[in-house]
Chains A and B, each alone.
Chain A
């Protein structure tokens, strides 16, 4: 059974249709990379999965729970799905350690000791244990994004969503974040990553999803897609970003 299953999902912003009849199954442990031109609905797609946006039409089933638009859904999926944002969105008034401990303490009910132990485990994993007591703005962009990844991991979600996690970073910091994500991909966590880092996609993705104008135009494994995409639109898109 897929951990995420979207059936004919449509999403409207007023009159504007941001998702058109989107269907996508993601298996447990699978790593999916989503790409497509700006405004094609990539963010909207993953934001519908973790309920930052509510869809109007179709069905989204996460880990056996069908999402309706009731607030109680949020609680049901919340421990299953985590999210990493383009702008990191760390809490600026809290230290890195406190950023990481907040969820485990308040939501999972861990003791302070347990929460800190868990936080250190993930800070070690993303290789910034020495930054624990610093505030976000004292960290480099790459370190902030890694801390944000660790904050998500502390909730031990089964699915982790990434919305362009490296596009707000200076070029020299992109690699360190991608390295952390590549390392993550070797674990059992399910990942859906919106990114234009095609090197990363080639290395890590089990499947690639190409979106355009609110539709999923093509889904394929990286080898096929990079050698010969089926649709012309995907071909043009790949050409553009690979040659630029």
Chain B
């Protein structure tokens, strides 16, 4: 994978010689190129903080939405289904626009671009988290609940100490995927003006007029971020596995 990372720009550079590319815009050896690169990389701050904040919120909300879905009572299950179906069917981009432009008109609450982005991403993702959690929790055998009941654990403790720790280990790969997905979706928040990776690239394109080079760098930026996240998730998976292997 690392080799690929070096290979792609190398190939592009080479082809650039023949095709009159303008790699100078992001040439780190020149002052302006270096500044441009820094400008683009700075976008990573919002991409990362926004995705991470959003995933934390969406995991919590997703879990809160999952639990009623597992209830014996029909009303609770209906709440879960309704939430999941409605939220899941709205495109993320539409949700971002709605939260940023629509919500203030409706409720008088104005969120800044960062929190509007976080809110929309978290909301959208929570429906998926709820489904992931549900599958994870339902994969835990009935014997575990019965054992918990036989030592008199109440519902909360059963979930907290017995079911969820096991379910989370099982859904970790899916959670990792969701985080990757979230990082990519966060690029959509550029439409309301948050200076994350994509927005930074767009702004640079407007002033430098070098879309091919700049967007290529943008692709690489996402690639690096996501490879790091994937490696992190794999590391966590291994750690949790060895702790009860």
Mutual binders A and B = yes
Residues of A with Cβ closer than 8 Å to B?
50-52, 74-75, 78-79, 82-83, 85, 87, 89-94, 102-103, 106-107, 135, 137, 148, 151-152, 154-155
User: Is the Cβ of A91 less than 8 Å from the Cβ of B147?
Assistant: yes
B143, B144, B153, B169: the one within 8 Å of A102 (CB): B153
**Neighbouring B residues of A137 by C-beta, 8 Å:** 244-245
Residue of B nearest to A91 (CB): B162
A52, A93, A135, A152: the one within 8 Å of B151 (CB): A152
B85 within 8 A of A: no
User: Is the Cβ of B150 less than 8 Å from the Cβ of A93?
Assistant: no
User: Is the Cβ of A92 less than 8 Å from the Cβ of B152?
Assistant: no
Interface residues of B, count at CB 8 A:
17
Most chain A beta-carbon neighbours within 10 Å: one of B144, B161, B169: B161
Q: What 7 pairs across the A-B complex have the smallest Cβ distances? A: A78-B152, A103-B151, A89-B147, A83-B150, A89-B143, A107-B152, A135-B244
Q: List 13 A-B contacts (CB under 8 A).
A: A78-B152, A89-B147, A92-B166, A102-B151, A102-B153, A103-B153, A107-B151, A107-B152, A135-B244, A137-B245, A152-B151, A155-B151, A155-B152
Tell me what chain B mostly uses at the interface: helix, strand, loop, or mixed: helix
Residue of A nearest to B162 (CB): A91
B49 within 8 A of A: no
CB distance from B111 to the nearest CB of A (A): 39
B15 within 8 A of A: no
**Neighbouring B residues of A93 by C-beta, 8 Å:** 165-166, 169, 244
Give 14 new A-B contacts, CB below 8 A, not counting A50-B150, A82-B151, A89-B143: A74-B149, A78-B152, A83-B146, A85-B146, A89-B146, A89-B147, A92-B166, A93-B166, A102-B151, A102-B161, A106-B157, A107-B151, A152-B151, A155-B152
Bound Cα distance A74, B147 (Å): 14
Tell me what chain A mostly uses at the interface: helix, strand, loop, or mixed: loop
User: Is the Cβ of B146 less than 8 Å from the Cβ of A52?
Assistant: yes
CB distance from B122 to the nearest CB of A (A): 28
**Neighbouring A residues of B165 by C-beta, 8 Å:** 93
Bound Cα distance A74, B152 (Å): 8
**Neighbouring B residues of A107 by C-beta, 8 Å:** 151-153, 157
CB distance from A102 to the nearest CB of B (A): 6
Bound Cα distance A86, B144 (Å): 12
For chain B residues 54-98, which have a beta carbon within 8 Å of chain A?
none
How does the 8 Å CB contact mask read for B156-168 relative to A, with 1 for contact and 0 for none? 0100011001100
**Neighbouring B residues of A85 by C-beta, 8 Å:** 143, 146-147, 150
CB distance from A53 to the nearest CB of B (A): 10
